[in-house]
Amino acid sequence: MPELPEVETVRTGLSPAMEGAVITRAQVNRPDLRWPFPDRMADRLTGRKVERLRRRSKYILADLDGGESLLIHLGMSGRMTVSGDPLGQFVHDHPAAEKHDHVVLDMDNGARVTFNDPRRFGAMDLLPTDGAQAHPLLARLGPEPLGNSFDGVYLAQALKFRRSPIKAALLDQRVVAGLGNIYVCEALFRAGISPLRRCDRIASARLTALAPIIRDVLAEAIAAGGSSLKDFRQASGELGYFQHRFEVYGREAEACRAPDCGASIRREVQSGRSSFFCPQCQR
């Protein structure tokens, strides 16, 4: 499932084609994805100007001039791609329609935005822009890890009494929004913290130091266009490249890249998710 860097990469890629443009035609080709689409979604989108694209956790929100926002979640295999952009950001002509093109938005600048989702675990909803934070999918989210409210002091306070493993705590979207399996594994490796260690058994200084490491990992992944493992593509259709810089994720039994380490990367299953780590470097 795309994590924060992938979603932010998609949002940035969609922005030149959508922000300030009017949706001249919205085509909705099925009644639902993971959940039913909102009532009359195509009619409510058609003719609306996209005033702003923003991201909250792993969701994209398109704020419309009619007072509603389109909430988008990519799910496991969802892609939003742009074709026919007259601004020169994209070189693709409009492609032939594909089987899993579930929502298609034609913009008044000539761009077409297509949401394709073979596995249909994605979602779209329309909600009032004012008070959007009260939506059930957004209401309980923690701070953005790249925002001003997330720092070492907050993270240490949030985790110091938790008895759960640090990996599970960081995946809890109520603690910090947008983190997923890949980037938690990578951040914990850089911090030298085992994903198996309980939060309440980690020194506050180590938890405090973890916050800027998380921010650095996410920023580097965004700069690399995210990570493409199976389905993820940028809005231009290109792959992300951060997967080539993984230190631990997906590298089970391979040698740790830390100088003079000599250990092999291990994989442990925690709550149904694979945790990759170096048993020598991470304690």
Q: Enumerate the domain spans of the chain.
A: 4-134, 152-277
Higher pLDDT, 86 or 223: 223
pLDDT surpasses 60 at 162: yes
Q: What is the mean pLDDT of the chain?
A: 92
Residues marked as catalytic:
2-3, 58, 273
pLDDT of residue 200: 97
The yes-or-no verdict on residue 61 having pLDDT over 80 is yes
pTM across the whole model? 0.91
pLDDT confidence of residue 251: 96
Fold (topology level) of 4-134: N-terminal domain of MutM-like DNA repair proteins (3.20.190)
What is the model's pLDDT at position 229? 57
Rounded to an integer, the average pLDDT of 33-51 is 97
Please tell me which residue, 106 or 244, carries the higher pLDDT value. 106
**Whether pLDDT at 90 is above 60:** no
pLDDT at 241 over 60: no
Compute the distance between CA of residue 195 and CA of residue 124 in angstroms, rounded to an integer. 33
Question: Once rounded to an integer, what is the mean pLDDT over residues 100-115?
Answer: 95
Mean pLDDT of 230-255: 76
Find which of 94-98, 232-236, 270-274 is predicted with most confidence, using mean pLDDT. Answer: 270-274
The alpha carbon dihedral of 248, 253, 258, 263 has a sign of positive
CATH 3.10.180.10 assigned to 152-277: no
Tell me the percentage of the chain whose pLDDT exceeds 90.
83
Residue 226 or 198, more confident: 198
pLDDT of 207 > 80? The answer is: yes
